[in-house]
Structure 1
Amino acid sequence: MNLAQYTKEFSYNIRLAYPVILGMLGHTITGIIDNIMVGQLGAAELAAASLGNSMVFVAMSVGIGFSTAITPIIAEGDAEKDTAKVRTVFHHGLFLCTMLGIMLFAVVWFAKPLMNLMGQPDEVVALAAPYVDWVAFSLLPMVIFQGYKQFADGLSLTKYAMYAVIASNVINVVVNYLLIYGIWIFPKMGIIGAALGTVVSRVFMLIYMHISLYRNSKLQTYFKGFTFKEITKPILKKITSLGVPSSMQMLFEVALFTGAVWLSGSIGANSQAANQIALSLASMTFMFAMGLSVTAMIRVGNQKGLQDYKKLQLVARSIFLLAIILEIVFALFFVLFHDYLPMFFLNMKNPELALENSEVISIASTLLLVAAVFQITDGIQVVVLGALRGLQDVKIPTYITFVAYWVIGFPVSYYLGLHTPLKATGIWIGLLAGLTAAAIFLYIRFHVLTKRLIANAVSKAEVA
């Protein structure tokens, strides 16, 4: 096949992906806004928000990863025009997301004492503990929102989540501004104000999503007549069998980055703050690949429902190519502006913080050079993972991600970060090693699997 057969799919891929990308960016921007606003208070406050968010983000990754099981089944049912299947998967998925949201909130709340055992600076832990309480609560509306989002994504209705997240970001900025700095009649709450902004914005996001989908006349059949009597073990088991491995895949990756936060904290508050700045910027560009990953999940799920495996392979590879091109552009951007981007996160006008913040910027600018390289392989692994989820192939990819991140990536980060002069840069070289291994082995898995599906389809056609 020539290149044109892949590039002609770009326009449809982009149309489907851009609302998802904007929605994903919205989630990331919420964290970046918090970091920028909290960063004006000082490096210790920024490190505390980083530590607190790292705990919550691990739990959130489980919730988001689990919810992705809804999308490929919905996409398959939509291609098959099986309304009953779509409806029952939506209801069961929403039920499971609600239960999971409650559980994750409880786990994070009770896990707070772990911060004292991680070798983090005392002043950072003291600031982070109350912050975690509120942000952990925001997991409940966040994970339920994911249930609605994955349902809509499976039907290729990707704009609803985009609007919900954009609106919630506006609310987050306003509430942050009022409560972090104590504007007008509102108390000055510091990083607790940022946590409350996150809670309010996520509750709004959930309400907005429910109302918007409910008011769509074409979706009325999926909302009417819900009762708990409809919940059955076989459907719960099917979604869970896809959701648990998917959540583990995301957990393994997020836990690797969280490990990087903790390793950076053991080096010092400045390294931890620098890590958070570089991670915030890398996460923002990663959302483009995440959006394309969802597109791969939807389109591969559709083709699986139609049983057109040659088209499935072509569509998936077109998305892989598009992701590589985008991530190379971002890599060049990071290389060109690595000295300037970290300055947006810290107050360089305050003479009392100037020396400390200069060190943070120096470390962060070096980390961005490593991030420029690893985001390319990070983009590849996440879009291939999306395609595999579209095929409802989750078990083998789970083993692959575990080995890549925790047998290869983390040991390299640990050794180079804590036992060589590379320090924070060494930690990020470990991230690069893990992501590169994941990208290679996941693509091999996709290639082997689709080749087998195409061969089986050809054999059946010859027999018929």
Structure 2
Amino acid sequence: MDVNASEILRKAIPLSLANMSVVFMPLLDSVMLGQYDIYSMASGGLAMQIYMVLFMLGEGIVFGFGPIYGRYLDTSDNRSIASSKLAVYLLLSAFAVIAFIILLGGPQILLSLQQSPSLVEESRGYLVFLGLSLLPNLLFIHYWEILAFHDKGKWVVVGAVTQLISNVSLNYLLIYGTWGAPQLGLLGAGIGTLIASMIAAVVLYLLMSRYTTSPQSQLKRDFLTFRTSLFPHMAEVLKIGLPIGLSIISTVSFLSASVFMMGWFSEQSLAAHLAVLQVNELIVVFILGFNEYCAIHVSSHISTASGRALRKFLFKVTVTALSFILALLTLTHLVRLNIFSLFLGPLTEITRPLYNDMNEFLSFSLPFLLIDAFILLLTGILRGCEITRGPLLLNLTGFWLFGLTSQLLLIKYYPSSPIVVWIGMQIGFIATAVALAIFFLKYSAVHHDQ
């Protein structure tokens, strides 16, 4: 369990970069579609909302498998590793089929939410290709986690770069119709996403297969004894993974609720809020690499994870991660005007009010990303211990009870100060962090002290 700062950074940063590559996929679609046609960008944005909810649930399944894999890796149980891998492949395949069917009904879902029929109609083809890309995207994450367990972070970065380059190139070809390719607009973005996802998944699969046991040798035996060999693994993955997926959805929904509340103030405040929220979310996605590292490290050393060892690991990873993240936040603050210009263009008398709002929101929110990082470190360690249901309940309580209630009360008493939305949001993060810290200390004391 003992680690040092250089090891933490060496293993966590590749995971951070891989997480950012997944986020950049839809972001690049939006940016390139915006250059092609704003109407197509809006239609794609609607489709992406449905896709992301399903994708986050699928991520929960992938992340739920990690602690199980780490436990068997810790004991060198290759037979159980192969069986559990086969079980998660079956789960992901079944989930992908269900998600694809839901996405086929996406237009009806959007119409029921009173969205523009013309925008919904254009999104049909895009939804189909998003549905087909769900499984390779989830397998891509699964493969990079396996590589991370075997300390092959450089190959994780190779996969992330491969995915991004493939996506940009295919979008350029198929959205705009360059180099003799057909000009397909939004449909081209969907095709590009699917092909890039498949390429990246295949590349990481080939790399991963060099370092871990293949489930193929177990295929016939495990199917013949499905109930005793595969079903327990599948149930265990869902038990650990579903709370993770629901926690991700809860957090994203909490942030989305702040968008609606900011809309009660003014269009200017809403625009500034959306821009700053995107900047914060990119930083949080980077921090997720440390969350994954914690889960991977703890689960693959679970046999030596005493309460004292867990607390010592939390201290070391917190000092290292927060020091690195603090430097990143300081750099972000120093170049904030350059970041604002990406959203607003040059500073002029017209854009100055938006610049002022963005500066207020970003300057207030950046320090609290350290608290968000601490939450992710705690949940990563607990996930490595296969504890996910308790953190889900604390997530729901901290964000939705303390955070949302604070926001509504502050808006009621300070109706002309949009910054109160951010204050209430941070109250939710603080409440969640405190609750998780208490939970972790009690859990490590009761269940792991030797």
Matched residue, 2:180: 185
| Matched residue SS, 2:179 | coil
Aligned positions of 1:206-225 closer than 5 A: 206-214=201-209, 216=210, 218-225=211-218
Structure 2: how far apart are the matches of 1:355 and 1:145?
Answer: 46
Query: Quick one: distance in 1 between partners of 2:131 and 2:350?
Result: 30
TM-score normalised by the chain length of structure 1: 0.82
1 CA distance for matches of 2:191 and 2:212? 33
1:226 and 2:219 equivalent?
Answer: yes
Aligned to 2:249: 251
Partner amino acid, structure 2, of 1:372: L
Taking the aligned partners of 1:124 and 1:372, their CA distance within structure 2 comes to 36
1:260-287 superposed Cα distances (whole Å, 9 cap, x missing partner):
4566678888776655543332222213
Matched, 1:138 2:136: no
- How much does 1:38 deviate? 3.5
Q: 1:273 to 1:398 in 2, by over 3 A?
A: same
Is the CA contact (8 Å cut-off) linking 2:58 and 2:95 kept in structure 1?
Answer: yes
Q: Post-superposition shift, 1:111? A: 4.2
Asked if structure 2 preserves the Cα contact closer than 8 Å seen for 1:97 and 1:146, the reply is no
How many correspondences in the alignment? 444
1:240-319 → structure 2 map (5 Å cutoff): 240-260=238-258, 275-319=273-317
427-436 or 437-446: bigger deviation: 427-436
The one-letter code of the counterpart of 1:71 is G
CA drift of 1:395 comes to 1.6
Q: Report the aligned-residue RMSD.
A: 3.6
Instruction: Describe the superposition over 1:277-302 as per-residue Cα deviations: whole angstroms up to 9, x where unpaired.
Output: 43332222213321111111112113
Alpha-carbon shift at residue 314 of structure 1 (Å): 1.3
CA shift for structure 1 position 221 = 4.8
Deviation at 1:411, TM superposition (A): 4.5
Structure 1 contact 303–312 (Cα < 8 Å) conserved = no
* Residue 206 of structure 1, CA deviation: 1.7
Q: 1:304 touches 1:312 (CA, 8 Å); kept in 2? A: no
Deviations 1:333-355 (A, max 9, x none): 33333332133256779xxxx99
Q: Is the 8 A contact 1:384 1:442 kept in 2?
A: yes
Alignment equivalent of 1:393, drawn from 387, 395, 408: 387
| Secondary structure class of the residue paired with 1:32 | helix
**Using the alignment, how far apart are the partners of 1:40 and 1:359 within structure 2?**
26
SS of the residue corresponding to residue 81 of structure 2 reads: helix
TM-score by length of 2: 0.84
Give unpaired runs (5+ residues) of structure 2: none
Q: Residues of 1 paired with 2:256 and 2:322: CA distance?
A: 25
Superimposed CA distance per residue, residues 192-218 of structure 1 (whole angstroms, 9 cap, x where no aligned partner): 43333322211212222222223x1x4
| SS of equivalent to 1:183 | coil
Letter matched to residue 434 of structure 1 = G
SS class of match (1:68): helix
Change (3 A) 1:415 1:435: same
Using a 3 Å threshold, how does the CA distance of structure 1 residues 133 and 365 change in structure 2: closer, same or farther? farther
- The structural deviation recorded for 1:141 is 1.8
Percent of residue pairs bearing the same amino acid type: 19
Match of 2:332 in 1: 334
Query: Could you say what secondary structure the match of 1:69 adopts?
Result: helix
Using the TM superposition, give the Cα deviation of residue 137 of structure 1 relative to its aligned residue in structure 2, in angstroms.
3.4
Are the aligned partners of 1:94 and 1:148 in contact in 2 as well (CA < 8 Å)?
A: no
Structure 1 pair 385/422, CA: closer, same or farther in 2 (3 Å)? Answer: same
1:94 corresponds to which of 68, 89, 92: 89
Superposition deviation, residue 59 in structure 1: 1.7
Matched, 1:382 2:376: yes
**Amino acid in structure 2 at the alignment position of 1:211:** L
Indicate if the aligned counterparts of 2:36 and 2:175 stay in contact, CA closer than 8 A.
Answer: no
Give the equivalent residue in structure 2 for 1:461. none
The answer on 1:435 being equivalent to 2:433 is no
Contact (CA 8 Å) 1:397, 1:442: kept in 2 or not? yes
Distance 2:422 2:122 in 1: 26
Match of 1:27 among 17, 22, 45: 22
